Structure 1
Amino acid sequence: MTIIQNSVVINKPIAEVYNFLSDLNNHEQLMPENIYNWSSTADVARFTIQNMAKLALKINQRVENKEIICVPSEEAPFEVKLAWKVEEVSANETNATFVIEAQLNMMMKMMASGPLKKLVDHQVNKLKEILG
């Protein structure tokens, strides 16, 4: 199992950060430019990763003010789980951690771990940019 993660402290209350992340419609704002054909509801998102694959993700677990877990809702190129974990630092500060767990063989690991790391880093940076 390959685990890629990054964290950021957001200057907002935990409920505000959790509410933003728990709606997949908001996740389009967190995506890099190589993501297109985005369509989403609060629970499901479909998109294409340029030169790679089409993906459909659904939220399969929400733990209020703690965690949001997404898994593929259709066949994916590899087994993957995406999780946003939020922890209260103070009344107006929240630590948000984005974790991707992927089942990658050696070949896929060489090809996908770099782009996945960039995705994780991009999303936590965009979250801080959007929510402050």
Structure 2
Amino acid sequence: MSTFTSKTSISKPINEVYSFLADFNNHQQLMPDTIQEWVSDADEASFSIPNMAKLLLKIDSRTTDEEIVIVPAAKAPFDLKLKWSLSFNNNHTDVLFTIDAELSMMLRMLASGPLQKLADHETQSLNTILS
């Protein structure tokens, strides 16, 4: 299992950050411009990554003001789990975004850089949107 993480701190109450992340419709704003064909509702999103794959993801679990877990809703090119973990400290919300991916050696060489960039892009976008 390969794990990619990115952290940020947002000067907002934890319930505001959680409410934004708990609705999959908001996640399009966190994605890079290269993501295409985005379709979502509160619980699921489908989109395509040019020259790679089309993904259908769903929110698997929500723990109010703590965690949101996202998994594939249909067969993905590899096993994948995305997790947003939240904690509130001294008037700001700490956010940890984790991507766990079951990558073969070949995929690890090809996908590690883009997956880390995706994790970093999503936390930076979240910080920009909510700050």
TM over 0.5: yes
TM tier, smaller: over 0.9
CA distance in 2 between counterparts of 1:45 and 1:27 reads 9
Aligned ranges 1:62-77 → 2 under 5 Å: 62-77=62-77
Over 6 Å off, 4+ runs: none
CA distance in 1 between counterparts of 2:51 and 2:128 reads 27
Aligned ranges 1:5-84 → 2 under 5 Å: 5-84=5-84
- 2:130 maps to 131
CA distance in 2 between counterparts of 1:89 and 1:9 reads 9
- Displacement of 1:114: 0.7
Q: Can you list the C-alpha shifts for 1:102-126, whole angstroms capped at 9, x where unaligned?
A: 0011001001111100100000000
CA distance in 2 between counterparts of 1:75 and 1:31 reads 21
3-state SS, counterpart of residue 95 of structure 2: strand
- 1:113 maps to 112
Gaps of at least 5 residues in structure 2 are none
3-state SS, counterpart of residue 51 of structure 2: coil
3-state SS, counterpart of residue 110 of structure 2: helix
% identical equivalent positions: 50
- Displacement of 1:81: 0.1
CA distance in 1 between counterparts of 2:66 and 2:21 reads 11
Aligned length: 131
TM-score (norm 2): 0.98
Q: Can you list the C-alpha shifts for 1:76-100, whole angstroms capped at 9, x where unaligned?
A: 000000000011012x310011100
RMSD of aligned residue pairs (Cα, Å): 0.6
